[in-house]
Amino acid sequence: MWNKVDLKSDQPCKLSYQFIKQVTNDYDQELVVGSGTFGTVYKGICENRQEIAVMVLRNIIEIDNKDFQKEFQNLRRLKHQNVVRLLGFCNETEKVLVAYNGNQVVADKMHKALVFEYVRNGSLGNHISAHGCSGFNWHIHYKIIKGICLGLNYLQNGFELSIWHLDLKPENILLGKNMIPKIADFGLSRLLGDENTRKTINAVGTR
């Protein structure tokens, strides 16, 4: 049942396609908080009212099923206050009827999604666009700069295999409680490849 999924578990959480559909209200456009070349980010709402960010990936040939699950296992280990936490993933294949040369044939339809913690205060880019640099006092400026540096250091040096962001920008820095910065989109550089990452989604938090 989708209301029994434990998103706080320390173990990798594999989620069903049915769960993804339910928490996004069957991909309700009113819940879209970001989009890009390779997918759409929805605000997901669990039955217990817990909010999550659901990144639904479009069908991408380059992502092999085994590679997808293996990479998730690696990314699931990441736990740092300045890195958006990856909570779960969906990787299911559905049999569907499609038209082919005038006939109906059975084909595989892939459903892939990543589930992250939901960061309520939006991106640093949105704050800069709305208020400019004057929107923060020096204490907040320092906290954001320091947090970004700590998060990057963790991604690059926290494990034997480094994670390079490749597309760090204000839109990929989300602001959490007490304006603590959290780096987003850090895992897509390895899931989608270097070139694909430069074109990826830039929102996991609110607009």
Which CATH number do you get for residue 12? 1.10.510.10
Residue 207 counted as domain residue: no
Residue 152 counted as domain residue: yes
Return all residues near 99 (Cβ < 8 A) that are at least 6 apart. Answer: 105
* Catalytically annotated residue among 26, 167, 185, 194: 167
Higher pLDDT, 101 or 165: 101
167 is catalytic: yes
- Give the pLDDT confidence score for residue 8 in this predicted structure: 62
What whole-number distance in Å separates Cα of residue 117 and Cα of residue 176?
10
* % the chain with pLDDT above 70: 74
What whole-number distance in Å separates Cα of residue 65 and Cα of residue 170?
31
Among 103-107, 178-182, 190-194, 199-203, where is mean pLDDT lowest? 199-203
How does the average pLDDT of the chain come out, rounded?
79
Residue 180 counted as domain residue: yes
- Give the pLDDT confidence score for residue 205 in this predicted structure: 41
Residue 113 counted as domain residue: yes
Helix or strand run (H / E) with residue 138: helix 138-157
Residue 205 counted as domain residue: no
Helix or strand run (H / E) with residue 130: helix 124-131
Residue 121 counted as domain residue: yes
Domain range for 26 is: 2-197
- Structure confidence at residue 163 as a pLDDT band (50, 70, 90): confident
Residue 83 counted as domain residue: yes
Q: How many domains does the chain have?
A: 1
Residue 10 counted as domain residue: yes
Entry pTM: 0.78
- Give the pLDDT confidence score for residue 207 in this predicted structure: 39
Say if residue 5's pLDDT is above 60: no
